[in-house]
Amino acid sequence: MVSDRGLEVLRVIVQDYVASREPVGSKSIVERHSFGVSAATIRSDMAQLEEEELITAPHTSSGRVPTDKGYRLFVNQLADLRPLSPAQRHAIEAFLGESSDLDDVLARTVRLLSQLTHQVALVQYPTLGRSRVRHVELVPLSDTRLMTVLITDTGRVEQRIVEVPVIDEEFLAELRARINTEIAGLGLQDASAHLAALAESFEPHRRPVVEVVAGILDEQVMASRHDKLVMAGAANLARTEGDFSGSIYPVLEAIEEQVTLLKLFSEMEHEMGAIAVRIGRENEPFGLGEASVLSSGYTGASGEVARVGVLGPTRMDYSSNMTAVRAVARYLSKLLSEN
């Protein structure tokens, strides 16, 4: 059983090690923190922490570093969520408030979060199982080229350029109106089924054009149905390469596998407003045994839940990063609910 003072010693070991990347010894704890006891007493507390496998000696020096178990206890009991400064809050509101659509919002979110935390930032697109088609636009670029634009009620915008047989403006207007009549307001799965049968309702000489346009729109519908992640800040891993005992390449490979990260996100708690944290060995099934992942839920425009978070080495500033993730998630929910 760790004493109250022992827990405070663990707190300062985590904080000092995160700040300096150097193992923390009893002498430096006495000099830098006001415990009011001798270095020998602190060494006794550290011995108890080591016995409980909360800290360990990385080599023969007298300093100690936190273990995954130590970081877990720190996060569960000791980490204080410090409020963001007014400047940080203003930066979030100003930067995200300039977004033009959902894609832009999420791209800005990961850029901002990676800058605030100096970690890899991740944001999941809102779950689109309940999404519906809001509108389809067909924009002529030339006699044989169109831009197809699919907009969902969650704010997702999918655009494609497609080559078609020669098409006149009158028929293009008819096709646009027919497509919106057929699929606007439908769920994505139902919209896909209607698009598959669309060409049959047109005269034979019009069907080649309709099949091409319907086919590309169906691809856009399918793309909108799949879960998707946006990431930024992978270069931050290179700056902290020394925090990984081996190569960082397994971590880079893991974050490139969106399916892996989406599964990890799905296994993290989805309590709104709370921060879920997975540390070190807890992430070994995902190839991230030396990394930590922090995430929080946010709500999309239609009330669907998705996650936003950061990934980095276990030696990270948990308190500040948890605060940043929670603040960004809350503002993201607020912003999307207003659009």
Model confidence pLDDT, tens digit, residues 247-262: 788 888 888 878 788 8
Query: What is the percent of the chain where pLDDT is above 70?
Result: 95
What CATH architecture is 86-127+228-338?
A: 2-Layer Sandwich (3.30)
Domain 4-67 CATH (choose: 2.60.40.1230, 1.10.10.10, 1.10.760.10, 3.50.50.60): 1.10.10.10
Mean of pLDDT values over 263-282:
82
Query: What is the percent of the chain where pLDDT is above 90?
Result: 53
* Domain positions in the chain: 4-67, 86-127+228-338, 133-225
Q: Please, which pLDDT band fits residue 130 given cuts at 50, 70 and 90?
A: low
Q: What is the pTM of this model?
A: 0.74
What are the residues whose beta carbons fall under 8 Å from the beta carbon of 181, sequence distance 6 or more?
none
Interval 186-202: pLDDT, tens: 988 788 889 989 999 99
For the domain 133-225, what is the CATH code? 3.30.390.60
For 261, the token pair is 């990260």
Q: Which residue has the tokens 């995430």?
A: 295
Residue 288 pLDDT > 70? yes
What pLDDT does 272 receive?
60
More confident call, 15 vs 273: 15
Residue 228 pLDDT > 90? no
Residue 270 CB coordination number (10 Å): 14
Residue 175's nearest CA partner among 204, 137, 149 is: 137
Residue 334's nearest CA partner among 295, 298, 307 is: 298
More confident call, 289 vs 62: 289
Mean of pLDDT values over 308-326:
94
What pLDDT does 225 receive?
61
Mean pLDDT over each residue of the chain, to the nearest integer: 88
